[in-house]
Structure 1
């Protein structure tokens, strides 16, 4: 059985699309005959990320990472993030002349520019050098692929996302939210780059609900006392909240995908969003939402969309299919034959984690 090491500076206790995507990859790769080894900040000393104190970054050295990776000797390396672990693993791969892939999950240059006076061009130059050193950089949507090509990124590959349609479904608990209707819902990180204020400032009937945590939470609570802030929720509790709502409002202009939109649609919620990358790729042209620069008009019109339509669109995307797409990219680079589904894969996901100082990822 071949083994893939996935290096990520984003991991638990973070709740975001990157972590959720990697969790699913770790879960489903063994079904295709691969053992996964997660290299994350777990097991390392950590320090808070500037401007994101709840994100803990690993304290390590290239030599420490090299010893760990030499001991593991993975068949393939995938680097998911451009943080301390990502850079250290990239260094090891280049020095050992090992084939590796990367993935582009976050518009980090725009996020950084929203907090500090750093030109996005400078940050994109750093990211371009980081990703172009690999054999392939995986992106979630055609829009992001086009944007990165225009910025000089090479060897771009498509890797979409999925949704757990068994967990996120209509009719779970319509009474989970005892609020005046219609209920307008946002789920995600509560931070400046998510543009949540554009949603909360809208003049809409009924109730607005925000699910998530982040550095902008307290400020938004003070500015919008009429909004229900529920904090971070996961799994069944989150699925119940989706099911009890009437429309999902996604005000971000910077997301590269937006897994929460798939979760909302699987729960029967229409999506209202701006016509930008992310929503255009996930919702545009599907009939499961409305995209408009007038977000209020989009939200009101989205209420007319049948819940069944939203559910049907979401069912086109599964985590199993996304995992196979990821693995097809990897096997194509190496020239290996396609992996076959396996009922018993021998090594479970997360094996050999003691060698890299992490705990079992599931």
Structure 2
């Protein structure tokens, strides 16, 4: 596998880590963010790793320098799987294809950028345009949902070279989630609905949209916010402005939490909301954690994102639009029986579609195809 450094808690990093754990080969990596020397791995690493020497980074762009390690990577006959998005990984996939045209070279496509007006966004847009043309020529492409598969086909990839492999939880995470025993409806009927948000406080996560929707409710609720980031102070100020005099709602910020604390919050919650507004969030791993724990996971249906697809439940039809989030939260706040029913339905969807056994079967079939 070829990827950026290091294994972290983000969805892309966790998926790459799980693939490396299962495949057991060498992971070639380079430090595009300048963090590999100073930070410990967030996840335990047992597989072999080799670091590639590269130029200093310009933003996220680094270029590999000539070295024995680079030559070994390019001339190897072993299959090579590149984890995108990464300009450096994309370049090395092209070089590896040039050096050994018959080698099995594949890529993992996690999300589509949304190019806008800024120079940085235009650069991302050019990278994406180039990446789509490169991956269309590779031996195969893995993506995370049927929606992204369809977008890749529309962008020029051959459907017979595409496979949908949803993101997965580690065996430990899955076991912890499935072991959680939800309280019966009779035990929670008088309690306020407990909403959970887990994510980085900044960028496209849109915790502000969630708080605005909760401010519309006429039934008691509480919101637990797990995570940290550059917008935390602004979100805390917003919560104070909206709810300091409220008798119905309360917001608590817990910051960056340990896995043990996060599991505790999942155990207490009634519903998880992932209110991201960008295709950069194409598949939220936290949705799987919630569903395995027996929680419905609400997310928006966005172009070029499978986020809404992940948590779809047959007995909770809604537009999956931001304007209707308050309405669906009010419905859940009013009906503890429905919340419990949807939680059981979410867990069953996890078992049927996203469980580790199914993920391993799909990965094995594709690897040996």
Q: TM-score range by the shorter chain?
A: 0.7 to 0.9
Cα-to-partner distance string for 1:114-141 (whole Å, 9 max, x where unaligned): 8945287645312212322321111111
Which structure carries more helix by proportion?
2
Structure 2 distance, partners of 1:302, 1:83, is: 40
Deviation at 1:49, TM superposition (A): 7.8
Which residue number corresponds to residue 236 of structure 1? Answer: 260
Deviates more, 1:290-299 or 1:41-50: 41-50
User: Are the counterparts in 1 of residues 112 and 128 from structure 2 also a CA contact under 8 Å?
Assistant: no
Corresponding position: 1:331 with 2:368: yes
Partner residue in 2 for 1:107: 112
- Which residue of the partner structure matches residue 53 of structure 1? none
User: Any gaps of 5 or more consecutive residues in structure 1?
Assistant: 1-5, 51-56, 175-179, 333-362
Partner of 2:326 in structure 1?
296
C-alpha distance 290-20 of structure 1, shift in aligned 2 (>3 A): farther
Query: For residues 158 and 173 of structure 1, do their structure 2 counterparts lie closer, same or farther at Cα, with a shift above 3 Å needed?
Result: closer
Q: Give the conservation status (yes or no) of the 8 Å contact 1:270–1:288.
A: no
Please name the residue that 1:3 is paired with. Answer: none
Mean alpha-carbon deviation: is it higher for 77-86 or for 281-290?
Answer: 281-290
Residue 124 of structure 1 is aligned with which of 125, 128, 136? Answer: 128
Match of 1:193 among 204, 207, 210: 204
Displacement after TM superposition at 1:263 (Å): 0.9
**C-alpha distance in 1 between matches for 2:264 and 2:58:** 32
Matched with 1:266 is 292
Aligned twin of 2:236:
221
- Report the secondary structure of 1:79's partner residue: strand
Alpha-carbon offset, residue 289 of structure 1: 7.9
Q: List alignment gaps of at least 5 residues for structure 2.
A: 37-50, 184-190, 244-250
Q: CA 1:158 to 1:299, structure 2 compared with 1: closer, same or farther past 3 Å? A: same
Please report the TM-score for the alignment, with normalisation by the length of structure 1: 0.73
State which of 275, 280, 298 in structure 2 corresponds to 1:251: 275
Q: Secondary structure at the match of 2:163?
A: strand
Secondary structure in 2 matching 1:230: strand
Matched, 1:136 2:140: yes
- Summarize deviations over 1:26-57 as a string: whole Å, max 9, x none: 33x2xxxx42222233456897884xxxxxx5
Which shifted more, 231-240 or 243-252?
231-240
Q: In the aligned structure 1, how far is the partner of 2:122 from the partner of 2:61? A: 24
Specify which of 136, 139, 158 is matched with residue 164 of structure 2.
158
- SS of the residue corresponding to residue 191 of structure 1 reads coil
Partners of 2:319 and 2:260 lie apart in 1 by 28
User: RMSD over aligned Cα, in angstroms?
Assistant: 3.2
The match for 1:318 among 355, 361, 364 is 355
| CA distance in structure 1 between the partners assigned to 2:290 and 2:271 by the alignment | 8
In structure 2, relative to structure 1, the CA distance for the partners of 1:217 and 1:114 (3 Å cut) is: farther
Q: Is the 8 A contact 1:198 1:251 kept in 2?
A: yes
Instruction: Report the Cα offset of residue 60 of structure 1.
Output: 5.1
Deviates more, 1:271-280 or 1:282-291: 282-291
